[in-house]
Structure 1
Amino acid sequence: MANTLQSKKRARQNARRLDVNKARRSRIRTFLRKVEEAIASGDKEAAQNALRAAQPELMRGVSKGVFHKNTASRKMARLSSRVKSLG
């Protein structure tokens, strides 16, 4: 339990940041899931459109500190190669 005023304030701030980051991470995962579903359906055009929509969301998560830069780059590279391999 937080005792000092500063630690109580930090606990409040951390709780707020947790909510914001959780929502942001959930939103990014939704965009990534749409790409996965388009790949699974075999629709290359839909997969490309979903990937183009997901990329700025993922990079926004990086700039906001939700994901590490290399993690986002790895996810984008793997998804784009899978989209590219669709017939």
Structure 2
Amino acid sequence: MKGIVEERAIELGEYIVEHEATVRKTAKKFGISKSTVHKDVAQRLKYVDPQLYQKVKAILDENKAQRHIRGGIATKLKYQKNEE
């Protein structure tokens, strides 16, 4: 029988796949820490639902590859806003 932690891992994984969300966006949506989201989808989900885990892993790997670009855009927007 699945416990609350396993159910949460599945729910978080489904949200990430459905919305192609980042860990940060998912944590904000569910009101939990980024560490909890990451632990649930990167470790617990692997044993609870391996197929969903593979889908989530692909999205998280893509997000990780793009994070330096997102950070640069955020910094650029920050300084553009300060100039105005």
TM-score normalized by structure 2? 0.40
Query: Considering only CA atoms, is the larger Rg found in Structure 1 or Structure 2?
Result: 1
TM-score normalized by structure 1? 0.39
